[in-house]
Amino acid sequence: MREINMNITQILFIVLICFTPAAYGQVWIFDMTKPQPEYNDKTGYGYDRNTVAISRKQRQPMFFSVKVPEGDYKVTVTIGSKQYAGITALRAETRRMVVERMDTRKGELREVTFNVNVRTSYIDGQDTVFLHRREVVDWGWDNKLTLEFNGDYPAVSRIRIERNHPKMKIWLCGNSTVTDQDNEPYTSWGQILPYWFDENVAVENMAMSGLRTISFIEQNRLAKIVQEVKYGDYVLIEFGHNDEKDNLPGCGAWYNFTYNLKRFIDCLRPKGVRIILVTPMERRHFENGKIRSTHGDYPEAIRTIAKRESLPLIDLTMATTRLYNVMGESLSKKLFVHYPANTYPRQDRELKDNTHTNAFGAYEVSKLIVMEMKNNGIELVQYLRTAWQDFIPYHYDNYQQFYWPKTPINYPEEPEGN
């Protein structure tokens, strides 16, 4: 993400030129200081997901969607207002973090530029990805680019959307610990990872809750990647949480699981992509004050196949184990979905989940992923945004300083898999 300060004269000049919403070829421009409609498929843009009433005055969380073809887009948003001081958080599509927090004085306008990937289930005109029922109704697999403006006093003056052809793309394969979670307070590291890269890198998240290596393949998710991936792209593959529950003949870390990972590799290698294997993030399971491994032979099987196939390895099992142990049994709860009843709307029971991270936990785990990329000398790290600072688990972030206002849509449903 690139951030630029702009003076009022510059913005007024732009608004005079582009004073109404328009699409010029592959460029869409919206003056958000003027009234905008409620989204409908015919108009193709507008306030979305029942936030139109409050959005006309802003200062409240809101969604704005634009109908676009599937692909990657460079989005430039002018944050701030001439009418009031703002505190704005910005997310794209299904709660992908773009701006953690931006404070603007009255009259101050600041630009941010970032990538957004818009995906659909279509593959080649004949086959499609089999979508989970939640994916059918959420806003991560539709034909719209959706922006979520959140924060104490969200303020946005202008949106510009244009086609982008990033230098590199990261494809994510995995389960509930990776996917774009639609429901507070669940958040996965795949939703935070795009935040760390500038507009030269796009992230396409194909993961879904409950998936195993075999179900990922059977649902045509691997087929979509193989169809659309380009030479030089990266594919990160993290499985294990659900595979390890299989107890049918032939299952296990060293047989079906290893075989399926080899299928990923054999399908992707001819496309000239760079494959990175990722061991599963550890569960928060303490015994006698220390984390006890819950994944059996699965992390070692991944390490073995990475070595045998000469592939880079992100050992997320070891990295997360180290982080939990450093934070300790009590404080490490702040990384996960541990909340008393009625913390969230329609949440009538206590949440005690030691597998799925909240937004702060996803933020910390995403930093571990990036640091493992740096340790492996992955070329992607040259495109880290300027605000990136190297992360050491012994100097974990303060959860009280992490800013994540709740997404104003909540369904009391946990992710599949554990």
| 150 neighbors 59 (Cβ within 8 angstroms) | no
Whether residue 69 has a cis bond before it, omega within 30° of 0: no
| 76 neighbors 113 (Cβ within 8 angstroms) | yes
Mean pLDDT of the chain: 91
Residues 103 and 202 in one domain: no
Quote the pLDDT of residue 25: 58
Quote the pLDDT of residue 15: 38
pLDDT digits (tens, 9 = 90+) for 36-84: 999 999 999 999 987 765 555 567 899 999 999 999 999 999 999 999 9
Give exposure, 360-397, as e/b (b: 16+ Cβ within 10 Å): bbbbbbbbbbbbbbeeeebebbebbeeebeebebeebe
Quote the pLDDT of residue 18: 40
Specify if 40 maps to a domain.
yes
Quote the pLDDT of residue 31: 96
Quote the pLDDT of residue 21: 47
The DSSP 8-state label assigned to residue 245 in this structure reads: G
Quote the CA–CA distance of 342 and 360 in Å, as a whole number.
20
Residues 113 and 208 in one domain: no
| Domain span at 348 | 166-401
Specify if 376 maps to a domain.
yes
The mean pLDDT value for 336-348 works out to 90
Q: Which residue reads 């930093």 in tokens?
A: 367
Residues 224 and 336 in one domain: yes
Specify if 127 maps to a domain.
no
The mean pLDDT value for 210-233 works out to 97
Q: Is 180's pLDDT higher than 70?
A: yes
The mean pLDDT value for 199-205 works out to 95
Q: Which residue reads 């998936």 in tokens?
A: 211
Quote the CA–CA distance of 180 and 138 in Å, as a whole number.
10
Which residue type does 94 have?
T
| Burial (0-12, 13-18, 19+ Cβ within 10 Å), 297 | middle
Specify if 249 maps to a domain.
yes
Quote the pLDDT of residue 52: 60
pLDDT digits (tens, 9 = 90+) for 294-329: 999 999 999 999 999 999 999 999 999 999 999 999
Q: Is 6's pLDDT higher than 60?
A: no
| Burial (0-12, 13-18, 19+ Cβ within 10 Å), 132 | middle
The mean pLDDT value for 249-257 works out to 91
| 171 neighbors 139 (Cβ within 8 angstroms) | no
Task: Return the CA Rg of the chain.
Answer: 21
Residues 113 and 179 in one domain: no
Quote the pLDDT of residue 57: 59
Specify if 153 maps to a domain.
no
The mean pLDDT value for 215-235 works out to 97
Number of CB atoms found within 10 A of residue 58's CB: 21
CATH of the domain at 359: 3.40.50.1110
Residues 217 and 333 in one domain: yes
Q: Which residue reads 């793309």 in tokens?
A: 169
| 312 neighbors 277 (Cβ within 8 angstroms) | yes
- Lowest model confidence (mean pLDDT) among 119-128, 177-186, 222-231: 119-128
Residues 188 and 44 in one domain: no
- Lowest model confidence (mean pLDDT) among 17-21, 158-162, 205-209: 17-21
Which residue type does 11 have?
I
Total of domains in the chain: 2
pLDDT digits (tens, 9 = 90+) for 230-247: 999 999 999 999 999 988
Specify if 124 maps to a domain.
no
Q: What percent of the chain has pLDDT over 70?
A: 91
Q: Is 416's pLDDT higher than 60?
A: yes
Specify if 154 maps to a domain.
no
Six-digit token string for 293: 């491994």
| 110 neighbors 104 (Cβ within 8 angstroms) | yes
| Burial (0-12, 13-18, 19+ Cβ within 10 Å), 97 | buried
Q: What percent of the chain has pLDDT over 90?
A: 82
